[in-house]
Amino acid sequence: MAITIPSPYTQYTGIWKLNSASAAVGAGTWAVPPTPKLYAWGYNGYGALGLGNTVNRSSPNQVGSDTNWLQVCAGGYGNTSAAIKTNGTLWAWGYNNSGQLGIGNTTNYSSPKQIGALTGWLQVSTGRYRNTAAIKTNGTLWTWGNNSLGALGLGNTTSYSSPKQVGSGTNWAMAACGNSTTIAIKTDGTLWSWGYNPQGQLGLGITSYFTSLPQQVGTLTNWSKVSSVGNFCVAIKTDGTLWSWGYNVRGQLGLGDTTSRSSPVQVGALTNWLTVATGYSSCLAIKTDGTLWSWGFNFYGQLGLGDTTNRSSPVQVGALTTWLYIAATYNSSYSIKTNGTLWSWGDNGNGQLGLGNTTYYSSPKQVGALTTWTTLSTFGGNATHMLAIALN
């Protein structure tokens, strides 16, 4: 089953409206097509901000002059960045010691570099330990970068600096790279995993060191969304239930304890979970009523609860019902509200909250005054920088 890449905008009788398939709903309508600009801030020691230098930034800075960005991803361990443009081309920049940029070498770049000349890229994810995965509109899955623990799913432990196809399947829908792992969902709703597994983060009911080929997680066919950037995973099914597995020493599974799990376990009994984002040892989630919830490690205040106390069960962040889009990096959290404003909290040692300083915050703080933020870094792995798209 082939996947059709969404246009970022749909035209309705002369009015252009942002397509909910590619960005946040509710950002507004325009008489002419809006221009999506890419912004970056935070740690920049290897050029991951794409600004042509290695200077940290504590406020959003526009990346180049292009105005056609669709999806962005900020990865960890030295910090790498990847993005897809509206024309379906794939781009990467930043740290590249294992070839995780996919451009055929191991040279760091401080400005975006196109990966090959192909179009038709749909979704990209960068992992904590330098592995990258991407899906094309034809449903094929491609991986590259560090493969010492089988995270590329190619049946070996050879690292590659250019994209390699995983098997021959054409029914991959989404992929998320974690800590030398990859978790993916197919268009038939089945869940698959491979790579590093000492804490059971692959969800296979075992704690083997690693597996280098995709393995199906159970037999269910109703998986909808999955997030994994550390040694644990959280996923949502089509029925709105929330599930987690893997490492749990800080309560990041949301199960009310600190016991690790090697198979998916349901978080509570609710059926109104909408979206989820995992940090290194913490988790954010939004329900269908627009409320924001968090749990797990909270040393830097990344749970947004006004303190630094860990939580092992979901706790609501404030009382608002206007949260729409979330992202989590190493120990920092981000969200876009329905009014298009951007908010951040947690670790800010490298200015990654975008607030113009390096002060930590344990409650959400608005980033600037813009009301046209539409997309945050998705499927990223433990970065200390952030990428986001705002409309002109």
Q: How many residues belong to the chain?
A: 392
Poorest-confidence range of 16-20, 207-211, 352-356? 16-20
pLDDT(51) > 70: yes
pLDDT digits (tens, 9 = 90+) for 66-92: 999 999 999 988 899 999 998 999 999
Q: Which CATH class is domain 9-391?
A: mainly beta
Mean pLDDT of 252-265: 98
54 φ, ψ to 5°?
Answer: -125, 35
Mean pLDDT of 305-328: 97
Poorest-confidence range of 24-28, 155-159, 254-258, 278-282? 24-28
Average pLDDT of the chain to the nearest whole number: 92
133: its two tokens: 């995965």
Mean pLDDT of 343-362: 98
Q: CA distances (Å), 221 to each of 103, 140, 239, in order?
A: 35, 19, 11
Report the percentage of the chain scoring pLDDT > 70.
91
pLDDT(221) > 60: yes
pLDDT at 1: 35
With cut-offs at 50, 70 and 90, classify the pLDDT of residue 2: very low
pLDDT at 17: 43
pLDDT(15) > 70: no
Closest CA to 333 of 314, 357, 361, 356: 361
Give the position of tokens 């969404």.
6
Half-sphere exposure of 216 (CA within 13 A, CB side): 11
Q: Which residues pair with 273 in a beta bridge?
A: 287
* Distance spanning both ends of the chain, measured CA to CA: 35
pLDDT at 13: 38
Chain-centroid distance of CA 266 in Å reads 22
Poorest-confidence range of 67-71, 192-196, 299-303? 67-71
Cβ contacts of 111 within 8 Å, gap of 6 or more: 47, 50, 51, 52, 64, 93
Poorest-confidence range of 237-251, 295-309, 375-389? 375-389
Identify residue 200 by its one-letter amino acid code.
G
308: its two tokens: 């630094």
Q: CA distances (Å), 23 to each of 97, 224, 338, 376, 378, in order?
A: 31, 17, 12, 9, 11
Domain residue extents for the chain: 9-391
pLDDT at 230: 87
DSSP state of 381: B
Closest CA to 115 of 138, 143, 153, 75: 143
Do the Cβ atoms of 326 and 294 come closer than 8 Å?
no
pLDDT at 392: 74
Mean pLDDT of 26-52: 83
Identify residue 18 by its one-letter amino acid code.
L
